[in-house]
Amino acid sequence: MTLVNEHVNGEITSIKPDKKQAYSYLRNKAVQFTPSHLACQFACGGSSCKYCNDIAWTEKQQVIKGLYSNWINEDILAMARPIEPNIIKHDMIKQFRENNIVSLINLQVAGEHSKCGSYMHKSGFSYDPEMFMKQKIFYYNFPMQDFDSTDVQGLLSIAKVIHFAVQQGKVAIHCHAGLGILDKLYET
Measuring CA to CA, how many Å separate 4 from each of 12, 61, 92?
Answer: 10, 11, 23
Which of the residues are catalytic?
Answer: 175
Question: Which range among 74-88, 140-154, 166-180 has the greatest average pLDDT?
Answer: 74-88
This prediction's pTM: 0.70
Lowest mean pLDDT among 44-48, 64-68, 92-96, 156-160: 44-48
Whether residue 31 is predicted with pLDDT greater than 70 in this model: the reply is: no
The structural domains of the chain, ordered by start, are 3-187 (3.90.190)
Collect all residues with Cβ–Cβ distance below 8 Å to 170 and sequence separation of at least 6.
74, 75, 76, 77, 99, 100, 101, 102, 103
Mean pLDDT of the 33-52 span: 59
Whether residue 68 is predicted with pLDDT greater than 90 in this model: the reply is: no
Q: What is the pLDDT of residue 166?
A: 94
**Among candidates 138, 127, 128, 135, which has minimal Cα distance to 161?**
138
Whether residue 1 is predicted with pLDDT greater than 50 in this model: the reply is: no
Q: What is the pLDDT of residue 2?
A: 42
Higher pLDDT, 79 or 55: 79
